[in-house]
Chain A
Amino acid sequence: DAGVTQSPTHLIKTRGQQVTLRCSPKSGHDTVSWYQQALGQGPQFIFQYYEEEERQRGNFPDRFSGHQFPNYSSELNVNALLLGDSALYLCASRWQWGGYTFGSGTRLTVV
């Protein structure tokens, strides 16, 4: 049983560009959350999707947007990339009020 799958694993982008990160939740999970983790810090909550709608949002600017598809997979889009957006981006999924399962993350470097 595959867990949470994220792609790509690594990405290098130039300041000002746009990026799309992808997440396939664990089988049977319907809720997807996205996190940004800077080096040496805990994960920061970006937003959560359930039934294709954004259910909760953390303190991130509108440059960060997302989408959930009918098969529960999700995308995170970041526009107008800044150097400070360089981080490990983590996706987590769960079913209803069960525990979260995390993917291995996408390492984004903005140069």
Chain B
Amino acid sequence: KQEVTQIPAALSVPEGENLVLNCSFTDSAIYNLQWFRQDPGKGLTSLLLIQSSQREQTSGRLNASLDKSSGRSTLYIAASQPGDSATYLCAKDNDMRFGAGTRLTVKP
């Protein structure tokens, strides 16, 4: 059974901290990998897409990396802000299965 694990399940940090969210897969076969954020009761907003030929992607304060050999991806958020508070989810697109996500709270 292919599983997606996201660590930590929840994270609470003061504003301004840099933080790292982790995503790992039992099946390391990966094509594209995508990170999303989800606000309560809403749909998913795409943050970063790492295509199969890439190892990382950056957008503003966000950086995502992918290590195919270990089946792991990391989302780095720099200088966190209260508006970053949401649930962060990862999925690899050959099967588009999600983990339970990391619930992030950034305190002012």
- Which residues of A approach B to under 8 Å, CB–CB? 4, 33, 35, 40-45, 48, 56, 58, 88, 90, 92, 94, 97-105, 107
B34-A56 in contact (CB<8A) = no
Query: What does DSSP make chain B's interface, helix, strand, loop or mixed?
Result: loop
> Which residues of chain B come closer than 8 Å to A101, judged between CB atoms?
46
A101-B46, A103-B43 given; A45·B34 CB < 8 A: no
Chain B neighbourhood of A42, CB < 8 A: 4, 89, 98-101
Shortest distance between the CB of B20 and any CB in chain A (Å) = 19
B residues sitting closer than 8 Å to A (CB atoms) are: 4, 31-32, 34, 36, 41-46, 49, 51-52, 89, 91, 93, 95-101
| Alpha-carbon gap, A97 to B43, bound state (A) | 21
Q: Is the CB of A56 within 8 A of B95?
A: yes
CB contacts (< 8 Å) of A4 on chain B: these are 43
A100: contacting residue among B95, B96, B97, B101, CB under 8 A: B96
- Known contacts being A33-B96, A42-B101, is A90 close to B49, with CB within 8 Å? no
Asked whether, in the complex, the Cβ of A102 is within 8 Å of the Cβ of B46, the reply is yes
Across the interface, B44 reaches (CB within 8 A) one of A40, A41, A44, A102, namely A102
